[in-house]
Amino acid sequence: MAESIKRLKVAFLGLGLIGGSIAMTIRRVFPNAEIIALNRSEIPLNEALKAGIIDVGVHKVDDVFKNCDFIFLCMPVNTNIDYLKKIEPYLTDKTVLTDVGSVKGVIHDAVEKILPNAHFIGGHPMAGSEKSGFSNANDRLIENAYYILTPSAAATAEDVQKYQELVSSLDAIPLVIPPSDHDFYTAAVSHVPHLIAYTLVQLVKEMDSPEQYMKLIAAGGFKDITRIASSDATMWEQICMENPENIRKLLHEYISRLQHIDDLIEARSNSKLHDFFSDMKNYRDSIRENKGVIPGTYDLHCDIIDEAGAIATIATALSVQGISIKNIGIVHNRTFEQGALHIQFYDAEAKNCAAAVLKKYNYTVYPY
């Protein structure tokens, strides 16, 4: 690792899910790093101080921000912009200023106007959760996730290399692209999917029977595809306001594709429907093979008999072999012939060892 990031001083403005997770990861990888955090709420600061995640917690920008290697803006974009002038006196030629927002155009425009000489590199870890806040942060959130970097004109090649090295050391995958490209790509793979999830929930809510039978029988498929509709409403309101052109363009493209499917169904074009489903299945399956967000989880399914103690038996078998389970639960759908258990592990080695153990005990195992 480069000498430039062996002794880190890092500051966070905002200690929520993403800021808190990055701070935790830096503390794990660089235990001697000096970590400063500013947060408007007292509770996250106290929790982070008590856990040893940060060294100093403050409610305003002051001299503790001097000589930072990195300053992370982790608040809502308008709040980040409000803080740009406040942190200006503490920026040096060695300080990389960055953010973690999912839209880059707005913050880049603001930095260019307010701090044109700042060594700003937009940052977006392609990881997260429908949950929010420091209480849901963890030191593995960005592991194996693509971490997009969007350098400003004032950022030097050395700044970019320094940030790439930091990201790599945190076990994320740096990807450098222009901010305008970032906003189009993330509209396609993140922003529009969230809107689709919200509108699917709306469809069921408004089309359900008085007895709410749709809600009652909603199973794995519906819950999987709408999980992200449990995300923070304020954040998604802001994203729609910050990236409207890209979102609307892709929404219109999506609507046209829905219309095409409707036309095929109306025409009873079974062969064209089959080709469509087959092509998209193949493409979706190919995504699983890429590095990045999806392989960051290590999952498998196994058939189990629906009887008392079935889960405990499996958990015990894995525990005896020293295999740690990250998450475990019953799959509530008909994809599998019997009851099915969904098990998530911390890494690929644990997943592969677990599969071997379960097969040894004659469980049917399905890769996720």
Q: For residue range 123-152, what is the model confidence (pLDDT) as tens digits?
A: 999 887 667 788 888 888 898 889 999 999
Per-residue model confidence (pLDDT) at position 339: 59
Which one has a higher pLDDT value, 282 or 306?
282
Per-residue model confidence (pLDDT) at position 14: 94
Which one has a higher pLDDT value, 40 or 271?
271
Does one domain contain both 172 and 195? no
Does one domain contain both 264 and 155? no
Does one domain contain both 8 and 111? yes
- Does residue 366 register a pLDDT over 90? no
Does one domain contain both 266 and 227? yes
Does one domain contain both 172 and 302? no
Of 260, 288, 316, the residue at which a domain comes to its end is 288
Maximum alpha-carbon separation in the chain: 69
What is the average per-residue pLDDT within 67-87?
A: 95
Q: Taking Cα atoms as reference points, which of 44, 50, 55 lies closest to residue 137?
A: 44
Does one domain contain both 155 and 37? yes
**Structure pTM?**
0.74
The percent of residues above 70 in pLDDT, for the chain, comes to 90
- Does residue 19 register a pLDDT over 60? yes
Does one domain contain both 81 and 132? yes
Q: Over the stretch 186-209, which tens digit does the pLDDT of each residue have?
A: 999 999 999 999 999 999 999 999
Of 128, 152, 177, the residue at which a domain comes to its end is 177
Per-residue model confidence (pLDDT) at position 40: 87
What is the average per-residue pLDDT within 257-278?
A: 96
Q: How many domains does the chain have?
A: 3
Token reading at 131 = 């949950």
Does one domain contain both 190 and 157? no
Q: Over the stretch 49-59, which tens digit does the pLDDT of each residue have?
A: 999 999 999 99
What is the average per-residue pLDDT within 41-45?
A: 90
What is the average per-residue pLDDT within 313-334?
A: 80
Does one domain contain both 15 and 163? yes
Per-residue model confidence (pLDDT) at position 64: 94
Does one domain contain both 314 and 277? no
Per-residue model confidence (pLDDT) at position 5: 56
Q: How confident is the model at residue 367 (pLDDT cuts 50, 70, 90)?
A: low
Q: How confident is the model at residue 309 (pLDDT cuts 50, 70, 90)?
A: confident
The percent of residues above 90 in pLDDT, for the chain, comes to 63
Does one domain contain both 214 and 335? no
Question: Which residue type sits at 360?
Answer: K
Of 232, 256, 288, the residue at which a domain comes to its end is 288
CATH code, domain carrying 84: 3.40.50.720
CATH code, domain carrying 210: 1.10.3660.10
CATH code, domain carrying 343: 3.30.70.260
Per-residue model confidence (pLDDT) at position 256: 97
Q: Over the stretch 206-225, which tens digit does the pLDDT of each residue have?
A: 999 999 999 998 877 888 88
Q: How confident is the model at residue 18 (pLDDT cuts 50, 70, 90)?
A: very high
Per-residue model confidence (pLDDT) at position 200: 95
Does one domain contain both 93 and 204? no
Q: Residue 7 is part of which domain span?
A: 3-177
